[in-house]
Amino acid sequence: MSKPRIATLWLDGCSGCHMSLLDMDERIIALAGKIELVYGPLVDIKEFPEGVDVAVVEGAVSSVEDEHKIRIVRERSKFLIALGDCAVTANVPGMRNYYTCEAVLDRAYYENATIQAQTPNVGIPALLPKALPLHEFVKVDLFVPGCPPQADAIYYVLSELVEGRIPDLAGKTRFGI
Ligand code: SF4
């Protein structure tokens, strides 16, 4: 039987959820023998591949590029996991939702700038009006809250999926730290 093809993606998040994934420590080695990691920050593949079994996505959808990516991920993945509070609720990126994009950019690049006040505009994807959780754009199959989710919970989720079971997260996760 072929190994499940797993991909991870980092949208508008701080990387803390991926750090928590690495916090599985030596359990990663056992897990690595049962899966094929086909995309993610740890894999040098530029394009999200076709035929992914499980996509694990950190971060909110905050830019036109994020939206483009999450729609491709959904098209190409059988099972999509929203990993962490930013993916589940927008969390920290969503703090800007009380303000316009213009006000946010002014604050970051002019009001708080001591030198070279300017808005970067080359190669920078445009912000969406609000930073939103994944399920506002695509169907999500499993929500794993936490900021970040604990490594134990991530290991449990992946282990169950590898064995062909849908994880029951009742009592195993919580929002926030
Ligand atoms: S949920 Fe927390 S740890 Fe994860 S990307 Fe968001 S801020 Fe970082």
Per-position DSSP letters for 37-69, written without gaps between them: EEESTTS---SPPSSEEEEEEESBEEEHHHHHH
- Give the Å distance between the CA of 124 and the centre of ligand 1: 22
User: Residue 1 above 70 pLDDT?
Assistant: no
- Residue 128 DSSP one-character state: E
User: Is residue 29 classed as helix, strand or coil in its secondary structure?
Assistant: helix
- Give the Å distance between the CA of 119 and the centre of ligand 1: 25
Element of type H or E holding 161 = helix 151-162
Q: What gap in Å lies between CA 48 and CA 57, rounded to an integer?
A: 12
Q: Ligand 1, closest atom to CA 15?
A: 5
Please state the separation of Cα 92 from the chain's center in Å: 13
The pTM of the whole model exceeds 0.85: yes
Could you report the per-residue pLDDT of 141-168, keeping only the tens digit for each?
999 999 999 999 999 999 999 999 999 9
Mean pLDDT, rounded, for 21-32? 92
Element of type H or E holding 26 = none
Q: What gap in Å lies between CA 5 and CA 30, rounded to an integer?
A: 15
67 CB within 6 A, ligand 1: no
Could you report the per-residue pLDDT of 56-107, keeping only the tens digit for each?
999 999 999 999 999 999 999 999 999 999 999 999 999 999 999 999 999 9
pLDDT computed for residue 177 by the predictor = 82
